[in-house]
Amino acid sequence: MRLVFALIDTPIGAVRVSLEEGVLTGVDLEPEGPSDEPVEVAKAVAEQLTAYFRDGSARFDLPLDLRGTPFQKRVWKALRGIPPGETVTYGALARELGTSARAIGGACRANPCPIVVPCHRVVARNGLGGFAGDTGGRRLAVKRWLLRHEASP
CA 62 to the chain's CA centroid: 13
Cα–Cα distances in Å, from 100 out to 29, 96, 105? 26, 10, 9
User: Of these residues, 46, 119, 142, 147, which one is catalytic?
Assistant: 119
113 is catalytic: no
Tell me the residue ranges of DSSP E strands in 21-57: 23-28
What confidence score (pLDDT) does residue 73 get?
Answer: 98
Distance CA 143, CA 96 (A): 23
41 neighbors 19 (Cβ within 8 angstroms): yes
Crossing angle of helices 90-97 and 101-109, rounded to 10°: 100
C-alpha closest to that of 101 among 117, 88, 112? 88
- Which pTM does this prediction carry? 0.91
How far is residue 88's CA from residue 96's CA, in Å, rounded to a whole number? 11
Instruction: Tell how strand 88-89 and strand 23-28 pair up.
Output: unpaired
How far apart (Å, rounded) are the C-alpha atoms in residues 33 and 131? 22
pLDDT of 68 reads 97
- Give the pLDDT of residue 37: 59
Q: How confident is the model at residue 57, as a pLDDT?
A: 95
Q: Which residues of the chain, if any, have pLDDT below 50?
A: none
Given a contact cutoff of 8 angstroms between Cβ atoms, the answer to whether 45 and 19 are in contact is yes
